[in-house]
Chains A and B, each alone.
Chain A
Amino acid sequence: MVGDDPHGWWACLEGVPDPEIPVISIVELGVVRDIRQGEHGIDVDLSPTYTGCPAMDMMAEDVQKSLAEKTGQQVQVHLLIDPPWTTDWLSESTKDKLRAYGIAPPVGSTSDKRELFGPPAQVSCPKCQSAQTERVSAFGSTACKSLYRCLDCQEPFDYFKCH
């Protein structure tokens, strides 16, 4: 999508960071689904990560502001839940950025149902790469993360849940 970007809209939103994880953009997060010219300006489709994610309103505002500033047009943001957002939309390079920031990226794919119903995935420590880790809590500092601890370097860390 970004490769064919005659108006520079996608590139513009690549400059909008995730409010909670500023090392990745909202495009890398997979939240931006479509940008198109509408009758009354530019229409943008966003796919919320979690239904109650409090950062969504901020993302929508940031999208509106940065595209309006760039183009001088009105910008309408639409929140679409179908198809539902999934961590399968995170690219390998995005996962590397998460790891470098200290967040373990999602392990596996959501098409593997064991991720949802089975025991927690084997998550490696983003700091020392040890596979000896344990889950402290399924729920972390934001809806998309759970809390882990490394048994080797002893550091606690966030795991970006496979979703």
Chain B
Amino acid sequence: MTFQMKWDTCDDLTNYVLQLGDDALVLGHRLSEWCGHGPILEQDIALSNISLDLIGLARQYYQYAAELIGDDMTEDHIAYLRDVGDFHNHSMMEQPNGHWGDTLVRQCLYDVFHQDYLTALTRSSDQRLAAIAVKALKEVNYHVQFSSEWLIRLGDGTQESHDKVQNSLQGLMTYSAEFFQASKADAWALKQGVGPDVAALKPGWDSRMDALISQATLSRPAADAAIWQGKEGSHSEFLALLLSEMQSLPRSYPDATW
């Protein structure tokens, strides 16, 4: 396989589709790290199920991107042979799992956003993306329910669980600002009617999160201001580590088949 893919050589639509796929793959992979380590069997299975949904969603986006790029491009090339700077996921996706509360807070912050985002994407002028969004939304509805219930259960649980998730919220909330800041690909997609106006999703997300946070007896951290640039390819150190593990087999044995 002599394969080199550079972000700037793809057209705008492909870049946008890859950005969507990268969120799904990176978060899906993060959740898969819980497999076999969940606190009890049912919760272990739940996170593995959500992980599978997200990796399935990543495949939908990557298969589409591979068709757009053409030649011999495949979904596996896209997942396994790109370097860290070519991934354009939100920085929140790559943050380490931490403890159960950290994982569920990250999940809840993203799920609520993801649900609204996909709802808007069902109206995309791109028929393929609209169809993917319709399909994914049915699954993400379960994710939102699961992570919201956990946020409430942990926040309104014991003093220890409350303090722990309050701390998780403090750390992870800063990454949420990136959801509503348009990347170059987002701006192109909005102009073409392909993708939603991410800034316009903020008020809805704010009020849904405020309601959940208050039901969980938690308080919303004030500072939302840190600016992360994952969607432009600038990542925290955690993504490179994630990729080195995820990509090690196909990079070491490029012709290996299942």
A residues with CB within 8 A of B: 48, 50-54, 81-82, 84, 110, 116-117, 136-141, 143, 147, 161, 163
Least CB distance from B181 to A in Å reads 27
Q: Are A82 and B131 in contact (CB under 8 A)?
A: yes
A82 contacts which chain B residues (CB < 8 A)?
127, 131, 134-135
Q: Are A139 and B45 in contact (CB under 8 A)?
A: yes
CA distance in complex: A136, B45 (Å): 12
Q: Is chain B's interface secondary structure helix, strand, loop, or mixed overall?
A: helix
Q: Are A136 and B42 in contact (CB under 8 A)?
A: yes
B85 contacts which chain A residues (CB < 8 A)?
none
Considering the complex, which residues of chain B in the window 144-167 have a beta carbon less than 8 Å from any beta carbon of chain A?
A: 145-146
Known A51-B57, A81-B60, A116-B141; 6 more pairs at CB < 8 Å: A51-B53, A51-B135, A52-B52, A52-B55, A138-B142, A143-B139
B138 contacts which chain A residues (CB < 8 A)?
84, 110, 116, 163
* A139 with B50, Cβ < 8 A, contacts A81-B131, A84-B134, A163-B138 known: yes
Q: Are B60 and A51 in contact (CB under 8 A)?
A: yes
Q: Is chain A's interface secondary structure helix, strand, loop, or mixed overall?
A: loop
Least CB distance from A21 to B in Å reads 16
CA distance in complex: A51, B43 (Å): 20
B51 contacts which chain A residues (CB < 8 A)?
52
Least CB distance from B133 to A in Å reads 10
Q: Are B141 and A52 in contact (CB under 8 A)?
A: no
B56 contacts which chain A residues (CB < 8 A)?
48, 50-53
Interface string of B35-79 (1 = CB under 8 A from A): 000000011011001111111110110000000000000000000
CA distance in complex: A51, B54 (Å): 8
CA distance in complex: A67, B53 (Å): 29
Q: Are B59 and A51 in contact (CB under 8 A)?
A: yes
Q: Is B136 an interface residue (CB 8 A)?
A: yes
Q: Are B52 and A141 in contact (CB under 8 A)?
A: no
Partner of A138 from B59, B134, B135, B145 at Cβ < 8 Å: B145
Least CB distance from A6 to B in Å reads 31
Least CB distance from A160 to B in Å reads 14
CA distance in complex: A50, B60 (Å): 11
A50, A139, A141, A163 pick with most chain B CB within 10 angstroms: A139
Q: Are A139 and B146 in contact (CB under 8 A)?
A: yes
| 6 pairs, CB–CB < 8 Å, chain A vs chain B | A50-B53, A52-B53, A54-B52, A137-B43, A139-B49, A143-B52
Q: Are A52 and B131 in contact (CB under 8 A)?
A: no
